[in-house]
Chain A
């Protein structure tokens, strides 16, 4: 909401400078986004009178003028042709600063001295669109009488300050100058001068000339109309144009200007119809028919549907209600009788219509904000007053006020103790009542109740009153205390601590933390080679997405990770390792009947200077930190379409599958434009954390020596070393302290289809030195087991 300080000061006395005023308003709840001081940089422009114009002796296109600037007359050479002797013009004196950094100096033009410049509106930094009387590429000729040599800036509204307020959605009343003025008066505790509205009517009865029927009563809570006769369409007076210009509205003609003026002042959009264009003077407020067409004022043809509210004549639509009028019934220069409309429309309907037809106007933005229907009548009367005042027409007696739903003021009880308890203050009742009155609340001090004005429908309960008290008392004056009451223990849960630990370990393992989007495109199913029946295809779909790329909630974190790797690859980053703890969203069924399951996945992705076992090592490091490495197993029997079929494994923790690891399938790498081997792992955080423990049990450090034995065997190639280790562990019981694979060999001296595998075993007992006999017995058991279960033969 842009507010001109000059205009605002008509309704409220503001003595302080604009910055102080803005600060006060911000602190009372009307946040100031910006202050624009109009023409701040422009200096030394005065009113001058053209005394003489003669031709330049040496230049056809120049003239030499004498201009009276008050105390003296100066000579100015100019190329402009539009001014006449006797005209008042804005004159930039030597040393003047104009728009866009232009500086005026004394000089010569084709040998003739020129000691200043006559200005166009552009040179004063103004929009020529806002000055309908400004000539194209010419000097602006000032109308009216001003002392010669006086500052010309105020004539153009320069020197005014425009304050831009951020208005919150609970305060639609502040989308008007009067609303801001009321807030200003309450804030600085001064009087608020509401305009006195009065006008005369000419004989007749408008109801004889026009009628309004509201069919869609739900979408139009009020429709007020009056008729102006003897309408004389012409430019509005300068003061009204100045007001409109100050808030960025282009003056058009007196009638349009009146409706715009009232819209800014009262916050109520209005519309004027040429009564002669309305068959039988009839207006119908109804829903549009499907595919009904109309031409809006901007000359565009619009196709409507039956959710939209329109203003119609007997035959055709003449306006999209609350958004824009129609070309057909627009006020023309020769219009004699016009019908003025001040209506109230359903905000949601206006919002939807405006969105659907792609047309947001000053009117529609106002109607979207729950305007007070009571304002419609006041605004109509204000418009009539202005029409009479500026001679735009005369007001015919009679009024149409249809579907008149008047808003009742809210009654709210207050309890001074409660309000103080909520704020932590000790404000007296007298002071609170004073604030209420400043806000135009009617206070009943016996019943401890207030009546809020109808434009303050946001005041509904005591907490609302507490805020009114707090903001006028000053948020900055409220005490600052630390909550007493029952102490609580601040801490992280076990899960949160384990997530922290995971991040720490990942970073210790050289991985950088990534963050990827929760939503993605269904196209990723194809990129990841997913089969048509893959459970990952069952995803939550967004009904109104920002395009396909953001249209489903991810069911896997892999696409995000591969995309992140791909981004890095495209930027030629070498040796990239990333991790993310991210959420996936798994619906039970679509459409949703209950919330989807949201689970946290640790995802690791890397390329460059890495292999399967580096990634496996990172996971094992994590498992060690989680105290569950002993329970981890790696099983290649898993179907994952985006992994290399020979380089993948599911990760099993205590017989539960908690995730998988593998090299990315070359087809998938191609799809992501990664032309290097890449590895990924995905682990379910909850499943992992379920097996984690931060408890450590102490056992005494060993006092007896360990006994070491090596064992080398020949097994079939396809036997996994993991299986060999399982057998060794199972057969050696508690005595086995450590086993270490130190050699796997295929090739010369080894029969085809076989491999040689060698382990170093280390045995120890806590309570004695192991005897050779015990070791031999255990070794025998191990070898027998390997032989029986895996067909291994001992190498000697």
Chain B
């Protein structure tokens, strides 16, 4: 019996070395350890063993069984890891093949820039207001200190609907609406479309966009105006951007100023973008004219404020180096997809 057990053990080791896959391994296991397996058959012969030898043989049987089981387990592990290895080998991919990336749409460049402007001013405590584009003559002119025969009426090349209504020539009328409806402190920006009778060319459009700003509170000074816009310019064009305020004229602000930033192309030495001056004009501003405050129902002895306005097309063109404004309204996706 002892010899039989030894023989089975040798046989198992031998057959395991030939096993190619898990199925074959299972067959080996069943042949040896299964109900009708060889080892099981030998065990059936235990009844013929001398009782005194039984413990010894029993221990031997268990030892052989354990050895066989361990050998099968080892063979199994090796087969599994070989198979996994094989699987991984077969699953190699060419990672440079194209993906199925989602195609994203693109925002209009002017709205990208507008969003930046909004965020800068929101960070400074401003809210966002909106005014009508078809506007009463009063709000477009008189309420902004532009009386009937004022030359500014002609300069702005107004589109008239009739004698009472116009297409607003700037976003400034929104200042008046805000002042009429809200009490100080007021801090708003008001982006929107405006209209002037300019033929379409590379730098003109009868319809374009402005962003207006208005701050009204007690003790607002021109120094505050400089501070707010200097901060804005830094946010928009970076810490190194220099800003220059120079006197200008607008009927609805006094004192008034135009704001230049140091040319971001040449840094101020002079180039074709800044026409050699080193400066690029980006906005107009000033202290709200006391007449405008009073007409809008704000006590000009108690409150003061500043206003500013800028052209969104211009700022966007400067940001991206776009030379022709018409591209903004042609909606060619080859243009839109660049942003």
Contact = CB atoms under 8 A, between A and B. Distances in A.
Contacts of A484: 219
B245 A466 contact: no
A748 B97 CA distance: 43
A500 B115 CA distance: 9
B7 interface: no
B249 to A, nearest CB: 4
Contacts of B197: 544, 546
Contacts of B102: 508, 510
A764 interface: no
Most chain-B CB neighbours within 10 Å: which of A481, A576, A578?
A481
B90 interface: no
Nearest to B301: A418
Nearest to B109: A513
Given A507-B105, A510-B104, A463 B255 contact: yes
Given A483-B215, A508-B105, A169 B125 contact: no
Given A347-B149, A479-B223, A583-B133, A513 B161 contact: no
Interface in A392-437: 421-425
Given A481-B221, A490-B123, A475 B254 contact: no
Interface in A550-574: 550, 553, 564, 567-568, 571, 573
A295 interface: no
B110 A488 contact: no
B122 A464 contact: no
Most chain-B CB neighbours within 10 Å: which of A347, A546, A564, A579?
A546
A110 B24 CA distance: 112
Interface string A587-602: 0000110011010000
Interface string B185-200: 1110000010101110
B164 interface: yes
A368 B154 CA distance: 10
B223 A425 contact: yes
Contacts of B215: 483
A483 B220 contact: yes
B223 A571 contact: no
A455 interface: no
Contacts of A463: 254-255, 287, 289-290
Interface stretch (A25-33, A85-93, A310-318, A766-774): A25-33
A601 to B, nearest CB: 14
B290 A461 contact: yes
Contacts of B150: 169
A595 B135 contact: yes
Contacts of A447: none
A482 interface: yes
Interface residues of B, number: 89
Interface stretch (B33-41, B53-61, B227-235): B227-235
Contacts of A478: 222-223, 226, 245
Interface residues of A, number: 89
Contact of A567 (B110, B121, B151, B331): B331
A468 to B, nearest CB: 9
Interface in B102-127: 102-108, 110-111, 115, 118, 121-127
Nearest to B129: A493
A200 interface: no
A423 B222 contact: yes
Interface stretch (A285-293, A515-523, A715-723): A515-523
B3 interface: no
B172 to A, nearest CB: 16
Contact of B161 (A510, A515, A541, A598): A541
B105 A518 contact: no
Interface in B247-274: 247-249, 251, 254-258
A501 interface: no
A545 B231 CA distance: 40
Contacts, number: 248
A563 to B, nearest CB: 8
B125 A476 contact: no
Interface string B126-166: 11100011111000000000000111101100011110110
Contacts of A470: 222, 247, 255
Given A490-B125, A510-B105, A568 B331 contact: yes
A489 interface: yes
Contacts of B167: 542, 553
A546 B197 CA distance: 7
Nearest to A510: B103
A463 B228 CA distance: 20
Contact of B185 (A171, A369, A486, A583): A486
B245 A503 contact: no
A592 B164 contact: yes
B329 A516 contact: yes
Given A510-B105, A540-B134, A421 B219 contact: yes
Contacts of A425: 223
Interface in A601-652: none
Contact of A507 (B106, B227, B275, B289): B106
B222 A515 contact: no
Interface string A330-362: 000000000000000001100100000000000
Given A348-B149, A485-B219, A480 B230 contact: yes
A506 interface: yes
B108 A515 contact: yes
A27 B247 CA distance: 7
8 contacts: A169-B152, A348-B149, A464-B254, A466-B255, A466-B287, A481-B223, A489-B125, A490-B123
Given A543-B160, A573-B334, 5 more contacts: A422-B255, A467-B256, A513-B336, A576-B333, A591-B162
Interface of B: 102-108, 110-111, 115, 118, 121-128, 132-136, 149-152, 154-155, 159-162, 164-165, 167, 184-187, 193, 195, 197-199, 206-207, 215, 217-224, 226-228, 230-231, 244-249, 251, 254-258, 275, 287, 289-291, 304, 328-334, 336-337
* Closest A-B pairs by Cβ, 7 of them: A424-B223, A424-B221, A467-B255, A29-B247, A168-B249, A507-B105, A564-B331
Interface of A: 26-29, 31, 34, 168-171, 347-348, 351, 368-370, 421-425, 461-464, 466-467, 470-471, 475-476, 478-493, 496, 500, 503, 506-519, 540-546, 550, 553, 564, 567-568, 571, 573, 576-579, 583, 585, 591-592, 595-596, 598
